[in-house]
Amino acid sequence: MNDKRLRIGIIGAGRIGRVHAETLAFRLPEAEIASVADVNRAAATALAKRCGIPRVAESAEEIIGDKGIDAVLICSPTGTHAELIAQAAEAGKHIFCEKPIAFSLQAIDAALAAVNRAGVQLQIGFNRRFDSNFARVRKAVTSGEIGAPLLMHITSRDPAPPPIEYIRASGGIFLDMTIHDFDMARFLIGDEVEEVYTTAGARVDEAIGEAGDLDTAVVLLRFRNGVIGTIDNCRKAPYGYDQRVEILGSEGKIATENRYPNEAVVSTGKSVYNDLPLNFFMDRYTESFALELAAFTTCVREGKPTPVCGIDGRIPVAMALAARRSYDEHRPVKLTEVEA
Q: What is the three-class DSSP state of 7? A: strand
CA 96, 54, 83, 94 torsion: positive or negative?
Answer: negative
Q: 113: Cβ–Cβ under 8 A, 6 or more apart, which residues?
A: none
pLDDT at residue number 279: 87
The torsion angles phi and psi of 58, rounded to 5 degrees, stand at: -75, -25
| Cβ–Cβ under 8 Å, residues 243 and 225 | no
Query: Does the pLDDT at position 51 exceed 80?
Result: yes
Would you tell me how many other CB atoms lie within 10 Å of the CB of residue 256? 17
How many residues are present in the chain? 340
pLDDT tier at 261, thresholds 50, 70, 90: very high
pLDDT at residue number 2: 55
The torsion angles phi and psi of 122, rounded to 5 degrees, stand at: -135, 130
pLDDT tens per residue across span 194-234:
999 999 999 999 999 999 999 999 999 999 999 999 999 99
Average pLDDT on 273-300 reads: 92
pLDDT at residue number 284: 87
pLDDT tier at 98, thresholds 50, 70, 90: very high
Q: Could you say which DSSP state residue 161 is in?
A: P
pLDDT tens per residue across span 75-90:
999 999 999 999 999 9
Average pLDDT on 327-333 reads: 98
- What are the residue ranges spanned by the domains of the chain? 6-120, 131-279+316-339
CATH number of 6-120: 3.40.50.720
- Angstrom CA distances, 68 to 92, 138, 276, stand at 11, 39, 46
Query: Does the pLDDT at position 69 exceed 60?
Result: yes
pLDDT at residue number 242: 96
pLDDT at residue number 257: 94
Q: Is 131-279+316-339 in CATH node 3.30.360.10? A: yes
Query: Does the pLDDT at position 171 exceed 70?
Result: yes
Query: Does the pLDDT at position 325 exceed 60?
Result: yes
pLDDT tier at 265, thresholds 50, 70, 90: very high
pLDDT tens per residue across span 119-139:
999 999 999 999 999 999 999
Q: What is the three-class DSSP state of 34? A: strand
The Cα 105–Cα 103 span in angstroms is 7
* Identity of the amino acid at 152: M
What spatial distance separates the first Cα and last Cα of the chain, rounded to whole Å? 41
Q: 139: Cβ–Cβ under 8 A, 6 or more apart, which residues?
A: 145
Closest CA to 19 of 312, 300, 299, 280: 280
| Cβ–Cβ under 8 Å, residues 138 and 174 | no
- Angstrom CA distances, 317 to 159, 164, 173, stand at 24, 22, 12
* Identity of the amino acid at 300: V
| Cβ–Cβ under 8 Å, residues 325 and 338 | yes
pLDDT at residue number 283: 83
The Cα 253–Cα 143 span in angstroms is 13
| Cβ–Cβ under 8 Å, residues 111 and 82 | yes
pLDDT at residue number 1: 52
Q: 273: Cβ–Cβ under 8 A, 6 or more apart, which residues?
A: 265, 266
Average pLDDT on 155-180 reads: 96
pLDDT at residue number 216: 98
**Quick check: do 6-120 and 131-279+316-339 share a fold?**
no
